Structure 1
Amino acid sequence: MADHQTKIHPVLDIEAPSSARTLVPEGSVRSEKGDPAILHQPQIQENIPLMHSKPPKNKSCCCKFLCWTISLILILLIILGATAAILYVVFQPKIPQYSVDNLRISDLRLNFDLSLYAKFNLRITADNPNKKIGIYYEKGSHLSVWYKSTDLCQGTLPKFYQGHQNKTVLNVALTGQAQYGSTLLAALQEEAQTGRIPLDLKIDVPVSIKLGKLKMRKVRVLGSCMLIVDSLSTNSLISIKARTCKFRLKL
């Protein structure tokens, strides 16, 4: 009777501790001693680029510079505003005033080229109403007399210093030539028949303000005086029937 060989397969003890259990994956190769040899699969490494974060130094520097600049500008504006307010309270500045006392026409005639030659003499009173401010009248002033849109004659004010609360009388000569003299003279003569001739005196005067012993920068006094005269007779005093003057400072 043939002997039957029985193959005994080891049974895994599931109650044994995990350290005592060894799982042999299918397809493992055993060593010569019978121990299972575990196949090590090659590990695949991926080259992932490293991102190095740098602090935004340029942006932070720009922000700091901008903040410092704005703060400095605000501080300067506050200082200038406070200084201007103190000066205004202490000196109480007022715009100088000018008035045309009389007007005399020395010459008004047609030239050979049919341009109109005019020479006016004005007596102007400059009034400085300030108690603590002196006025230096500088070079570069310009005065002109206009009839509607035509510049008849021009002149300048002398250079001088005007003290506190002072009124100075100035005699100013203005001369000039205007084109289309025959047409212009006819229009003036027609206005003279009504006894109301409109003339516009424009004033542009550079002045320097003196606060105590301190001489400030130049400003300009701009003004306009609308005059209504009765005639344009030469070498005679002309009556000024109405006058309206406006003045302002240009920094």
Structure 2
Amino acid sequence: MPGGSFRSDKGNPAPAPPPPRPDNQHQHHQTRGPLPPPPPPHRVAPRAPVPPPPPPKLRRGCCCRLLCCLVLTIVTLAVLLGAAALALYLAFDPKAPRYTVDRLAVSAFQVDPTLTARARFDVTVTATNPNTRIGIHYEPGSDLGVWYAGTRLARGALPAFYQGHRNTTTLQLALGGQVQLGGAVVSAMQDAQRTGAVPLLFRADVPVRVQLGGVKMWKVTSRVKCDLVVDRLMDVSSSSPIKIKTSDCKFSIKL
């Protein structure tokens, strides 16, 4: 053995056994009983579907209120305009003008072998304004004509003038023209000539402005239609004037 060391005669002693461990596990199992089962694994619940947004009640409500306000405004304006029109009617008491064709002279009417008719009429028209507070401005651009069976025989124009309150104006008008007639129209005209009753139509479309006091209103078209029956048309060589047997004039406004 190396120096400085010693050895027991009895050899190396056996290692000491470890101290006994208390049987706590055995006691614990005896006192606690069996262990509870492990909890089930956690599962995430599926998300519920997102409900659709509610209908736009507020927007519909705003639209309904706006529509009601618009209708109320229109009704209010209509009532105010009606009241204003009634007030004007009561204040001015408007009456329709009257027109008559007093005289119709045929200074020329010829039908050549090609059935081309050349005509000239001298017409006397009387216009009466019965209103006490309303004047009538007859504007340029009028269109006058004499018709037979839907065919215009002559045309002319009315001079521009102003007709005051309670005024009667007599106008001397000259109408002329040239038109191609059909054989049926010429035959019908000759038959009416033999019976002494030739139907004619005098029509006038005249732009006018009504003046209420000192205010001149907007322009409208005054239409006059006169149904005439004359004793003859084609025989203009006779010295006796053409007679108007019947005359029926109607007045209307064309907006």
Q: Tell me the TM-score range normalised by the shorter chain.
A: 0.7 to 0.9
CA apart distance, 1:119: 0.8
Gaps of 5+ in 2: 1-28
Fraction of identical pairs, as percent: 42
* Residue 47 (structure 1) aligns with: 47
The answer as to whether partners of 1:115 and 1:182 remain within 8 angstroms in 2 is no
- Structure 1 residues 31, 67: CA separation in 2 closer, same or farther (over 3 Å shift)? farther
* Residue 243 (structure 1) aligns with: 247
- 1:98-123 per-position Cα deviation (integer Å, ceiling 9, x unaligned): 10111111111135753111111101
Gaps of 5+ in 1: 1-29
Aligned length: 222
The answer as to whether partners of 1:116 and 1:182 remain within 8 angstroms in 2 is no
* Residue 94 (structure 1) aligns with: 95
In 2, Cα distance between equivalents of 1:148 and 1:183: 10
Summarize the alignment of residues 60-71 of structure 1 with structure 2, pairs less than 5 Å apart: 60-71=61-72
In 2, Cα distance between equivalents of 1:97 and 1:31: 132
In 2, Cα distance between equivalents of 1:33 and 1:129: 126
The answer as to whether partners of 2:225 and 2:250 remain within 8 angstroms in 1 is yes
Summarize the alignment of residues 2-13 of structure 1 with structure 2, pairs less than 5 Å apart: none
In 1, Cα distance between equivalents of 2:223 and 2:97: 10
In 2, Cα distance between equivalents of 1:61 and 1:230: 73
The answer as to whether partners of 1:95 and 1:249 remain within 8 angstroms in 2 is no
TM (normalized to structure 1)?
A: 0.78
CA apart distance, 1:67: 1.9
CA apart distance, 1:34: 3.5
* Equivalent residue letter for 1:49: P
Larger Rg: 2
* Equivalent residue letter for 2:242: I
- 1:33-57 per-position Cα deviation (integer Å, ceiling 9, x unaligned): 3486365333441211333546445
Summarize the alignment of residues 23-34 of structure 1 with structure 2, pairs less than 5 Å apart: 33-34=32-33
Q: Which moved more, 1:198-207 or 1:129-138?
A: 198-207
CA apart distance, 1:31: 11
* Residue 25 (structure 2) aligns with: none
